[in-house]
Structures are given as structure tokens and as C-alpha cells.
Structure 1
Amino acid sequence: MPGNPNEIKLVNNAMANATRRKIMNFLSSGDKSIEEVGEEVGKTMLDFHLKLLQQASLIKLGEETASLSEYGRNFLKGKEDKNADKNADLSQAKPVEIVEVRQLLPCIADSSKFRVIANIAPPLVGTLKVLEPLFPRGRYSEKINALIVQKGEIITTIYGSGKVTMTMIKNEDEAKEALENLRNIINEAIAKGVAPAPREKIRVEPMELYKYLPQTNCGKCGDQSCYTFAIKIMSGEASLDMCTPLNEPKYATNQEHLQVLTAYI
């Protein structure tokens, strides 16, 4: 069973891809032939996906069959236990209001657009994770206790404290409209009392990642081009922290977008 840091990293890389997660869920109902797995998830890079899952000790491969390993079964069970409260009761949550738009500052990445800092009340605190399925490109971060939502170029971050930040806003009117829309979506769910079930996130393509990479082909990540690097991120062979130029202030917003996108790979 994986336990040391390198083995845990293999598991995290294996499960960071939507196709591989789908393979795991498909195998949870029993052993399958390789042909059946291909028909279920698609045959593009199937051998590669199966090999990564096998290397992570999540599945066992025969000549023509695939099955979950004991560790793989326990891994899925642990995920099910953690997600048991996804349809959590919202009946105790109170409707929110936008109580203050505190600042409208120039965006670091594009000085023609703005970064907005606002407040909502009452703070959503532990409710944020339950609200994640409301947004096709929403991701809850336990590390910062925040719900991060992407819509087009705009990234909205709702913190448990009640603070809300928005990037790439054209003007104050767009900020107010976006905040009002956010308030309505949240309050509609609270009025119903139950958050919607989790749904499959929008598929991310390599070109979409490439759009937000520096596009300098500097090679600091070890690849010849930024597009090659984007493909490796998609396959789980590379991670964003390998692109050191993204740490430069001018790429701050790009990095925010990429962090959201990679959450759905």
C-alpha cells in the first residue's frame, strides 16, 4: 500500500486526471476487459492511463483485463466517505447580501481592467464546500477555506470570512452585476435548502492551458515549448510549479486561471 511521499505523489498524479478517475469508478463495479474500459472512457491514450494507475498500485492489469487493487478499492471507499455530505442540508444557512464593495484596483496582468474586493454577509464559513456544485467551474479550497469560481476571464474567490475578490473586471457596473448574480445563485440554493449533487466539470483542453502560460518557450520547465508543457500537465506528467516564470507579478492572474483549470484535469 502506498505510504512514502514518492508513492503518494504517484497516486495524486494518477487521480489528477478525469479519464483516470472515470476508469477507477468504472472498475468499482467489478473486473473489466481492456476493451470494455476503452468503450467506456475512450481509447485515446488508454494504455498510458492504465499504466499510470497500475504504477500507483490503484489497479491490477492482466493480459486483457483490468481490476481494482485492494488499495484502489479502499481509496475509492475513502473518497465516498469524504463525499457523503455533498448533498448537505442548507436549511440552517441564511441568505447573503453584498454589504460593501471596498476597493476597485487596477489588475496586475491588465491595467485596463480591475480587481474588486467586496464583502458579503453573513459569512458562508463551512457552507462554501457544499455550494461548489452550483458553479460549472467552481472549486473549493480547504487550504484557504474559499470557493474559487471561473466565468470567462473573471475569477471570483469567495472566502469563508465573507471577503470576495474578483479579477479582470471591466468596470464598476460589471462588478456590481457579477456580485448580484453571485448573490442570487447562492440565495436560490439556500432557499431550496439542499445543494445540488456534484456534476462532471467542463472538459479542459491543452490549448486552454496554453492560453494562460507565458508562451515564451523558455525551456525552464524542461520542455521545448509551452504547448508541450500544457500537454504534460494534462497527462499528469508535469505540474504548474515547474513553470517558474508564472511566479513573476505580471503572470499573477494567469496563474490564478491555471490553478482553476488544472483542478478539473
Structure 2
Amino acid sequence: MPGNPNEIKLVNNAMSNATRRKMMNFLSAGDKSTEEIGGEVGKTMLDFHLKLLQQASLIEIEEGIVRLSEYGKNFLKEKEEKGADKTADISQAKPIEITEVRQLLPCIADSSKFRVIANIAPPLGGTLKVLEPLFPRGKYSGKINALIIQKGEIITTVYGTGKVTMTMIKNEDEAKESLKNLKNTINEAITKGVAPAPREKVRVEPMEIYKYLPQTNCSKCGDQSCYTFAIKLMGGETSLDKCTPLKESKYVTNLEHLQVLANYI
């Protein structure tokens, strides 16, 4: 059973990926063949994911049949017990209002779209972390005390101070509609008094990563193509900062989207 720092690191690395977490949850119902697992989570990099889980002693594989190890079963049990009380009381939070849409500026990456700066009141502060599960692609950042939400091309960032920014907005009507939906989603949770328990985020495919890469196949990252880079990024074998073209101003929105997607890898 993992216990020393290196073994614990292997477990943390194995469970840092949404696909591997989904595989573990799938196996909690019983032994599965590799074909069944591929049908459930997709066959992209399946062997790689299985190898990492096996190296972390979370699963055992024998003649194409995969099962949770004893450690894997205990790991999931402990996680379930810790998560039993994860629903958070937000009954003390007050409903919010959109108090001001201060700016509607052209996006740097696409002049036909807009970047919106707005304000909500009262500020949500630390409640934002609790609200993260409300949004399938919502990610709370403690570093900036903000909830970052992706929906299609639009990235919305809600700060604890009450400031809200949105990118890739088509027009003022879409800005108002998006802000209205944001307000309603948050206020419904506040009215209920309890935020939903944390859940698995949607799965990210390599093609979705590739969509936001420069697609120039410049090889500056050390890989032959942008798609190869996307696959390696999915596998934790490289990092976004290796793609130096993303630092150019014309790719600023692409980088924002990739930073959001990276949270679900």
C-alpha cells in the first residue's frame, strides 16, 4: 500500500486526471474488461491511463480484466466518507444583482467580439468556491479569488470583489442575457441555501485542446505537430508554457480557453 512520499506522489498524479477518476468510479461497481472501460471513458490514451493507475497501485490488471486493488477500494471509500459532508450551507449569502455593466470593449483576439466588464452586488467573496459545482465548467481559483466559467466560446470570471469579466461576447444583448443567466443560477442556489456537492467535470478531448492551439505545427514546443502537443498535454507530459506562440497577443483568448480546459485534464 502506498505510504512513502514517492508512492503518494504517484497516487496524486494518477487521480489528478478526470478520465482516470471516472475510470476508478466505474470500477467501483465491479471488475471490468479493458473494452468496457474504453466504452465508458473513450479509448484515447486508454493504455496510458491504465498504466498510471496500475503504477499507483490503485488497480490490478490480469488477462484484460481490470479490478480495483484493495488500496484502490480503500482510497475510494475514504474519499466518499470525506465527501459525504461536502454540501455547503450558503443560507447566509444574499441574492445578487447586476448593478452595472461598465464597459463593452473589442476583444483583442477578435475585433468582431466584445469583452465585457460588469459588477454584481453584494460581492460573493469566499462563497464563490462553494458555488463552483453549479457550473459544469466552473473552476474556482484561490490565487485570484475568482470563479472562472467556460460556456462555449465565452469565458466568464466572477471575482470575490464583485467584478465580472466576460470574453468573446457577440453584442450587448448577449452580454445582458449571459449576466442574467449567471445571476439566476447563483440566486437559485442561494434561495435553496445549499450548494450542490462537488462532482466530476465534463471530459475534455484532445481535439478540443487542439482547437485553441495555434495549429501552425511550428515545432517550437519540441513536438512535430500541434495535435501531438495536445495529446501530450492531456497525458501530463508537457505544459502550456512550452507553446511559445500562445504568448503572442493574437492568441490571448486562445490561451484563456486553454488555461480553463487545463483545469479538467
**Smaller-chain TM-score bracket:** 0.7 to 0.9
SS state of the match for residue 88, structure 2?
Answer: coil
Distance 1:222 1:94 in 2: 50
SS class of match (2:126): helix
Specify the SS of the correspondent of 1:219: coil
- Asked if the contact 1:98–1:118 (Cα under 8 Å) also holds between the matched residues in 2, the reply is yes
User: Match of 2:123, as an amino acid?
Assistant: P
Aligned mates of 1:168, 1:135 — CA distance in 2: 18
Q: In the alignment, what sits opposite 1:126? A: 126
Secondary structure in structure 2 of the residue aligned to 1:92: coil
Q: What is residue 38 of structure 1 aligned with on the other side?
A: 37
Cα offset for 1:68?
5.2
Query: Counterpart in 1 of 2:154?
Result: 154
Q: Measured at CA, do residues 52 and 116 of structure 1 come closer, stay the same or move farther in structure 2, by a change above 3 Å? A: same
Aligned residue in 2 for 1:204: 204
Secondary structure of 1:175's aligned partner: helix
User: What is the correspondence of 1:87-102 to structure 2 with a 5 Å cutoff?
Assistant: 87-102=87-102
Change (3 A) 1:83 1:158: farther
Q: Secondary structure at the match of 2:89?
A: coil
Q: Deviations over 1:233-263 (max 9, x none)?
A: 2233333222222222221211111122232
1:97-176 aligned within 5 A: 97-176=97-176
Q: Which amino acid aligns with 2:174?
A: E
**Matching residue of 2:229:** 229
TM-aligned CA distance change 1:62 to 1:2, over 3 Å: farther
Q: In terms of mean alpha carbon deviation, does 219-228 or 236-245 score higher?
A: 236-245
Structure 2 residues not aligned, in runs of 5+:
none
The one-letter code of the counterpart of 1:249 is S
Cα distance in 1 between the residues matched to 2:215 and 2:92? 47
Task: Give the root-mean-square deviation of aligned CA atoms.
Answer: 3.0
CA contact (8 A) 1:26 1:37 kept: no
Letter in 2 for 1:127: T
Question: Deviation of residue 47 (structure 1)?
Answer: 3.0
The question of whether the paired residues in 2 share the 8 Å contact of 1:102 and 1:119 is answered with: yes
1:8-55 alpha-carbon deviations (Å, 9 max, x no partner): 3x545433432211233345577x465597378457244321211233
How many equivalent pairs are there?
263
Tell me how far 1:75 sits from its aligned partner.
Answer: 5.5
1:49-107 CA distance string (max 9 Å, x none): 12112334544555666555677567656755664553211211100011122222221
Q: What is the Cα deviation at residue 206 of structure 1?
A: 1.9
